[in-house]
Structure 1
Amino acid sequence: MRALVTGATGYIGGLLVPELLEAGWQVRVLTRDAARLDDAWRGRVEVVEGDATSTDDLDRALAEEGAEPLDVAYYLVHSMDGDGDFADRDRQLATDFGAAAARGGVRRIVYLSGLHPDGELSAHLASRVEVGRILLDSGVPTAVLQAATVIGDGSVSFAMLRHLTTRLPVMVAPKWLRNLIQPIAVEDVLHYLLATAGLPPDVSRTFDIGGPDVLTYEEMMQVFAEETGQRRRVIVTVPVLTPRLASHWVGLVTPVDAGVAKPLVGSLVHEVVCHEDDLVELVGPPPSGLTPYREAVHAAMRGVAPDTALRRLGEVATAVTAAAITGSLGTDPGSRWYRALDKPAWQPPSIAFPLVWSALYADLAAVSTATLVDLDQQGAADPGPASADGTTSAARAVGYERALWLNLALNATWGLSFFRARRPALAAVHSAVLTVSAADLARRAGAVQTRRGWQLAPYAAWCGFATALSGSLARRNR
């Protein structure tokens, strides 16, 4: 039996490949970068480096001259972002894939789609449904498996639920958190994906797949809290949070990017419950039966390092707040000495300084917390070297902490150089050192995630502006 797996570097595809190999399949994968494949099985599969957007690459992956046609091609590709053209991209990808599979004589396509109700759907769910329809119309027998939230460590939808529950003991949430959902354990998804490869050729249709429990998203969060030893969450639902607003909120609170959170949040607007279980009759249930939600949570969290977000937020917020208060106590813009200084025309009005600094302090706290949490998670997942110079994530976290504490100390004591010592020249030097420190923080944050470096850039730029202003005051008031 020969199979092609697309999306092998993704969560489901990366788990499906070793399951197929264990079952005795010959496996081929289509990937843009072979280096990203799992080292544990990369040498046991045939790798076709190419892009699913290329007709030539699809033909190479789905057919081989002189060889028997593939028994099954797993289509595990879809756009999961906030770009407006995702539906067009998915439509074209599915159309090209179906046509190439037909040309190559592939005996079956299996596609993992999203469980959905009848009627009007969110844009992303509608696109998933359309992709399934395109593959079903390709002329190749197709099984479209429709699943709701997949419970497993690595599932983006589960990561969103996990981090929302862990990081928000009290939350104001949309009213549609009370819509019904039928989650499914990732082990059960893999069972169905493997089993559908052997369906008779005359079976070409959609199948709903789900676990044995039907819960609201709020109930899923409460059960997760119970099963992971956390207190019951206080959840207040309101009717005013739109999916767009909620996705940005999710992107802020969890590691899930706002562009990825948008389709996930959008699907929560619908109740997603199985309407039939025909696939169980055709291929049978998983060997141990369907996995209850509580057991799926246990399995997903087995060996997962604790989330350090709340602890890190407390540490960073306390330190930043202390620096802000100390710094404000050290300034005296109303003093006779300061009012008598000759100031440049480009100096902002006094009211600008507290406003700008408040925004910058909030930015510094948010970015630093997220950076330290990421480094904690990376260190827990892989304690070995995490960068080209051999530095571990734990060491990088310690380095970032020290750089942050130094920066905050410089920030808090700047007023002593300017207002207490009344030495603008000394304050200019102090600001220059603070600017270098802020730029170093931006560099360290950017090394973990590029956009975070840019998010700290305004802080470094404002410190540089303070250096120029202090230097100008020193020259004007010798």
Structure 2
Amino acid sequence: MSRNILVVGASGYIGSHLVPNLLNLGHHVTATGRNLKLLEKRGWGNINNLTLVELDLDIDQDLTDLFTDIDTVYFLVHGMNHGHDFIEFELDCARHFSHYLRHSDVEHVVYLGALQSQTSQSKHLSARKETGNILRNSDKCVTELRAGIIIGPGSAAFEVMQDFVYHLPVMLTPSWVTSRNSPIALRNLLYYLTELIECPPDHNLILDVAGPEQMTYRDQMVRLSKVHGKNIRVIPLKWLSPKMATYWLRFITSVPTNIARALIGGLSCDLPADGSELQRRIPQHLINYEEAIQEALAMNTEVVKSDIWGFDPDALLRWQTGYGYYPKQAGYTLKTDASCEDLWRQVQLIGGEERYFYANGLWLVREWMDAMIGGNALKRYRRDPQQLQLGDKIDSWKVISLEKNHFLSLLFGMKAPGLGRLEFTIEDCGDHRTIDIRAWWHPKGFMGLLYWFAMMPAHLFIFRGMTHALVKRCKAKIQQGNIETK
């Protein structure tokens, strides 16, 4: 039976996979995210039975209309990437949502939480549990699924382990690597989630999600390394605490630091799971750990099969297993009174007579470095000196996405351990405009991370200079700028 379904947090890892599954089953879906453009970049902008809604639960706004004609809600919001205060952010969002949920005609809420431990002091796990309690206070029928590690591309915990395997032949770890969890394949979790709406309960339920076996984190990383044809050694050290381990996460994993830090806090204890009741209600074949990894690796190319990369064949050709799923990023944003049209006119000149607007000597040094290892960065090329089109080559760059007066994305073409792009984004903010220049980098192993951190000071110096130079070329005023790195 077709249902009207609201997916809150559709731009997240699980939501981005769940929405297409629900659409394929014939349901009408309202998908929400904090950034509508991110949802549209997934190619979701023109689907008949899909409605996109920009929703920031951190803002005090009336949500009454959001629930109009909605039968079922999936609540997939978490705050791990919000910052150091993500716990209060997450709970405030749940309270705001629950208040309006109480007064709606929604029949069933499905909430994806986290496995719990009797001994853990993890703020992340506690917040996941309390969020479930807050949703149940709405007096709606809530089914809470509590899951551990999900094996799939983009799953933060899985990607952290992937990065460990690719970056470190020897791992000195806290003793938490002997803690046990019950990893489950993404495909199995999605099946549970979609089938739950076919048999809504008449009372609240809390059900564990469990894969076919309980495993220590050490065993998971060792078996993961074997699938990749590597041989990692994991050496637990009693004196190395999870808190100490978080300090070097920024340099070892491409997973956003806030997310990785929150996850580490939940690894210090066993997270037992009994999935028998959920399996009794929704029986399915649970694939084993190695099969789940193989499926995840087969799906890795989804990163570049997207509007973000313009579905570009060169990006797909260059993608390799072992590239970080999450990109590193560094950029500079500048406020100005220049018009979008004037800024866009200047951005389109990149690679021509003005070269790269600022620090052209540094650009030339990087091009010579590329040429010395067999690259073609010294070959100058532009189809037209004034206008850009999709697919244009600019020296070693390629235009993979272009939106007039707003956005330009260039595929990085030099030889380096990873896959990257350079983006120019112009936003009209009413009383001012912003010009943002930003590099995105999917590192390949430790050398990819080393390359990124070695280049970051130059990136930030150059991007700041480029934004200022573009505004000056528009003969406009510079108001304010700021750096951002992740």
TM-score, scaled to structure 1? 0.64
Match of 2:32 among 14, 27, 30: 30
Asked if the contact 1:150/1:185 (under 8 Å) is kept, the reply is yes
Asked if the contact 1:446/1:454 (under 8 Å) is kept, the reply is no
Q: 1:440-455 residue pairs with structure 2 within 5 A?
A: 447-448=439-440
Q: Which amino acid aligns with 1:42?
A: G
Q: 1:7-156 residue pairs with structure 2 within 5 A?
A: 7-37=9-39, 38-44=41-47, 45-62=50-67, 64=68, 68=69, 70-81=70-81, 83-156=83-156
Match of 1:285 among 274, 283, 291: 283
Question: 2-side partners of 1:459 and 1:142: how far apart?
Answer: 47
Question: 2-side partners of 1:96 and 1:175: how far apart?
Answer: 39
Asked if the contact 1:147/1:210 (under 8 Å) is kept, the reply is yes
Relative to structure 1, the CA distance from residue 445 to residue 298 in structure 2 (aligned partners, 3 Å threshold; closer, same or farther) is farther
Task: State the Cα distance separating 1:457 from its structure 2 match.
Answer: 6.3
Asked if the contact 1:48/1:60 (under 8 Å) is kept, the reply is no
Q: 1:357-368 residue pairs with structure 2 within 5 A?
A: none
Task: State the Cα distance separating 1:13 from its structure 2 match.
Answer: 0.4
Q: Give secondary structure in 2 for the equivalent of 1:139.
A: coil
Question: 2-side partners of 1:200 and 1:229: how far apart?
Answer: 44
Asked if the contact 2:209/2:274 (under 8 Å) is kept, the reply is no
Alignment correspondent of 2:484? none
Alignment correspondent of 1:216? 216
Question: 1-side partners of 2:418 and 2:15: how far apart?
Answer: 36
Asked if the contact 2:145/2:207 (under 8 Å) is kept, the reply is yes
CA deviation profile, 1:384-425 (whole Å, cap 9, x unmatched):
726855632234859999xxxxxxxxxxxxxxxxxxxxxxxx
Question: 2-side partners of 1:400 and 1:295: how far apart?
Answer: 27
Structure 1 residue ranges without an equivalent (≥5) = 310-367, 369-381, 402-443, 462-478
Q: 1:3-402 residue pairs with structure 2 within 5 A?
A: 3-37=5-39, 38-44=41-47, 45-62=50-67, 64=68, 68=69, 70-81=70-81, 83-230=83-230, 232-282=231-281, 284-286=282-284, 289-302=285-298, 304=300, 305-307=320-322, 385=400, 391-395=410-414
Asked if the contact 2:120/2:266 (under 8 Å) is kept, the reply is no
Alignment correspondent of 1:456? 457
Aligned CA RMSD, in angstroms, stands at 3.2
Relative to structure 1, the CA distance from residue 103 to residue 258 in structure 2 (aligned partners, 3 Å threshold; closer, same or farther) is same
Higher relative contact order (CA 8 A, sep 6+): 2
Relative to structure 1, the CA distance from residue 169 to residue 72 in structure 2 (aligned partners, 3 Å threshold; closer, same or farther) is same
Q: Which amino acid aligns with 1:219?
A: D
Asked if the contact 1:51/1:58 (under 8 Å) is kept, the reply is no
Task: State the Cα distance separating 1:253 from its structure 2 match.
Answer: 0.7
Equivalent pairs: percent with the same residue?
Answer: 29
Relative to structure 1, the CA distance from residue 241 to residue 58 in structure 2 (aligned partners, 3 Å threshold; closer, same or farther) is farther
Decide which structure has greater strand share.
Answer: 2
Q: Give secondary structure in 2 for the equivalent of 1:448.
A: strand
Decide which structure has greater helix share.
Answer: 1
Task: State the Cα distance separating 1:155 from its structure 2 match.
Answer: 0.9
Relative to structure 1, the CA distance from residue 71 to residue 454 in structure 2 (aligned partners, 3 Å threshold; closer, same or farther) is same
Structure 2 residue ranges without an equivalent (≥5) = 301-319, 325-368, 370-396, 421-435, 442-451, 463-486
TM-score, scaled to structure 2? 0.63
Relative to structure 1, the CA distance from residue 147 to residue 101 in structure 2 (aligned partners, 3 Å threshold; closer, same or farther) is same
Relative to structure 1, the CA distance from residue 459 to residue 258 in structure 2 (aligned partners, 3 Å threshold; closer, same or farther) is closer
Relative to structure 1, the CA distance from residue 198 to residue 152 in structure 2 (aligned partners, 3 Å threshold; closer, same or farther) is same
Question: 2-side partners of 1:399 and 1:216: how far apart?
Answer: 30
CA deviation profile, 1:313-350 (whole Å, cap 9, x unmatched):
xxxxxxxxxxxxxxxxxxxxxxxxxxxxxxxxxxxxxx
Question: 2-side partners of 1:267 and 1:28: how far apart?
Answer: 32
CA deviation profile, 1:116-168 (whole Å, cap 9, x unmatched):
22244301111111101111222010011100011001111111011101211
Question: 2-side partners of 1:206 and 1:392: how far apart?
Answer: 46
CA deviation profile, 1:338-370 (whole Å, cap 9, x unmatched):
xxxxxxxxxxxxxxxxxxxxxxxxxxxxxx9xx
Q: How many residues align?
A: 338
Asked if the contact 1:52/1:58 (under 8 Å) is kept, the reply is no
Asked if the contact 2:22/2:194 (under 8 Å) is kept, the reply is yes
Asked if the contact 1:164/1:254 (under 8 Å) is kept, the reply is yes
Task: State the Cα distance separating 1:184 from its structure 2 match.
Answer: 0.7
41-50 or 142-151, which deviates more: 41-50
CA deviation profile, 1:83-141 (whole Å, cap 9, x unmatched):
34222222211112112112111111111111122244301111111101111222010
Relative to structure 1, the CA distance from residue 447 to residue 107 in structure 2 (aligned partners, 3 Å threshold; closer, same or farther) is same
CA deviation profile, 1:437-472 (whole Å, cap 9, x unmatched):
xxxxxxx996337x96995269979xxxxxxxxxxx
Relative to structure 1, the CA distance from residue 271 to residue 82 in structure 2 (aligned partners, 3 Å threshold; closer, same or farther) is farther
Relative to structure 1, the CA distance from residue 50 to residue 176 in structure 2 (aligned partners, 3 Å threshold; closer, same or farther) is closer
Question: 1-side partners of 2:125 and 2:139: how far apart?
Answer: 23
Q: Give secondary structure in 2 for the equivalent of 1:272.
A: coil
For the pair shown, which has the larger CA radius of gyration, 1 or 2?
1
Relative to structure 1, the CA distance from residue 384 to residue 216 in structure 2 (aligned partners, 3 Å threshold; closer, same or farther) is farther
CA deviation profile, 1:248-298 (whole Å, cap 9, x unmatched):
22221110232211111111112112135212222x223xx0121110000
Q: Which amino acid aligns with 2:288?
A: P
Question: 1-side partners of 2:101 and 2:82: how far apart?
Answer: 29
Asked if the contact 2:176/2:242 (under 8 Å) is kept, the reply is no
